């Protein structure tokens, strides 16, 4: 007898029940059992919503606590707007507080990481220390900013502006160095008393980052 060459279909999984099949099965159950299932499903949904709410609240509290600690360290290092630290006193207080700031990198909330790296590297620029960075591309950007800062301190503003030029095309993206890039541009404008350039830089920054930043606002006022 000849063997059949028809391929055999091996079913490895039962077909998923249709909605109609589910509804028929549900209609066969006792009303009390149906009601219990509905209550159970509702309880699971409420539990998930509550868990999500508490997780979000916990994260918000973590961010607020971190920002409060960061603000306290900033005041300790820089002083207040009414009594800012200057000269050697500023450098010494930054050097004292900087290790505490760097130790926060291990526990910083992810949404605050770029801001913390920005602050650390700004203080490192003041002390003449190399920047920290999370990527090789970001490290290269910080090296350009550090060079521009050194040139500006030596009164070579045109060279400082040229050092920042390779970063111009990327300065509209969110990164740990972007804030300091725009601060450096305004510091160069301030050194040259270039009101037109300062206005253009500030407006460009505000267009890309509408929330703005208090440091840039102060720099803008000092130039304009």
Tell me, yes or no, whether 102 and 187 share the same domain. Answer: no
pTM over 0.85: no
Q: What is the pLDDT of residue 42?
A: 62
Tell me, yes or no, whether 90 and 162 share the same domain. Answer: no
- SS3 per residue for the chain: CCCCCCCCCCCCCCCCCCHHHHHHHHHHCCHHHHHHHHHHHHHHHHHHHHHHHHHHHHHHHHHHHHHHHHHHHHHHHHECCCCECCHHHHHHHHHHHHHHHHHHHHCCCHHHHHHHHHHHHHHHHHHCCCCCCCCHHHHHHHHHHHHHHHHHHCCCHHHHHHHHHHHHHHCCCCCCCHHHHHHHHHHHHHHHCCHHHHHHHHHHHHHHCCCCCHHHHHHHHHHC
Residue at 10 is within a domain: no
Q: Which of 223, 203, 199 is nearest to 212 (CA)?
A: 203
User: Which among 83, 112, 141 is the end of a domain?
Assistant: 112
Q: What is the pLDDT of residue 208?
A: 75
Residue at 205 is within a domain: yes
Strand partners, 84: 79
Tell me, yes or no, whether 138 and 217 share the same domain. Answer: yes
Strand partners, 79: 84
Question: What is the number of domains present in the chain?
Answer: 2
Tell me, yes or no, whether 84 and 166 share the same domain. Answer: no
Tell me, yes or no, whether 101 and 173 share the same domain. Answer: no
Residue at 161 is within a domain: yes
CA 40, CA 37: separation in Å to the nearest integer?
A: 5
Residue at 183 is within a domain: yes
Tell me, yes or no, whether 57 and 90 share the same domain. Answer: yes
Q: What is the pLDDT of residue 71?
A: 80
Tell me, yes or no, whether 160 and 80 share the same domain. Answer: no
Tell me, yes or no, whether 147 and 206 share the same domain. Answer: yes
Residue at 15 is within a domain: no
**Which residues fall within 8 angstroms of residue 202, CB to CB, at 6 or more apart?**
186, 216, 220, 224
Count, residues in the chain: 224
Phi then psi dihedrals of residue 171, to 5 deg: -80, 0
Which domain covers residue 67, as residue numbers?
Answer: 41-112
Tens digit of pLDDT for each residue in 26-58?
555 556 665 566 666 666 666 666 665 555 555
Intervals of the chain under pLDDT 70: 1-59, 133-134, 211-224
Half-sphere exposure of 68 (CA within 13 A, CB side): 6
Tell me, yes or no, whether 104 and 144 share the same domain. Answer: no
Residue at 125 is within a domain: no
Tell me, yes or no, whether 157 and 71 share the same domain. Answer: no
Residue at 142 is within a domain: yes
If 0-12 CB within 10 Å is exposed, 13-18 middle and 19+ buried, where does residue 204 land?
A: middle
Tell me, yes or no, whether 138 and 209 share the same domain. Answer: yes
Q: Which of 135, 110, 137, 139 is nearest to 124 (CA)?
A: 139
Tell me, yes or no, whether 51 and 98 share the same domain. Answer: yes
């Amino acid at each position: 007898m000849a063997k059949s060459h028809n391929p055999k279909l091996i079913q490895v999984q039962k077909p998923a029940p249709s909605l109609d099949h589910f509804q028929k099965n549900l209609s066969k159950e006792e009303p009390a059992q149906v009601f219990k299932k509905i209550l159970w499903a509702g309880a699971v949904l409420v539990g998930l919503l509550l868990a999500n709410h508490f997780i979000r609240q916990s994260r918000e509290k973590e961010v607020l606590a971190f920002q409060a600690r960061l603000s306290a360290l900033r005041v300790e290092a820089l002083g207040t707007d009414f009594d800012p630290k200057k000269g050697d006193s500023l450098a010494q207080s930054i050097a004292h507080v900087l290790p505490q700031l760097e130790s926060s990198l291990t526990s910083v909330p992810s949404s605050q990481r770029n801001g913390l790296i920005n602050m650390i590297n700004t203080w490192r620029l003041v002390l003449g220390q190399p920047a920290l960075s999370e990527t090789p591309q970001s490290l290269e950007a910080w090296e350009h900013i550090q060079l521009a800062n050194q040139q500006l301190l030596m009164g070579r503003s045109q060279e400082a502006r040229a050092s920042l030029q390779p970063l111009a095309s990327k300065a509209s993206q969110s990164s740990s160095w972007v804030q300091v890039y725009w601060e450096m541009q305004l510091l160069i404008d301030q050194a040259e008393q270039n009101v037109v350039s300062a206005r253009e830089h500030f407006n460009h920054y505000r267009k890309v980052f509408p929330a703005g930043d208090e440091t840039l606002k102060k720099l803008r006022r000092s130039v304009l």
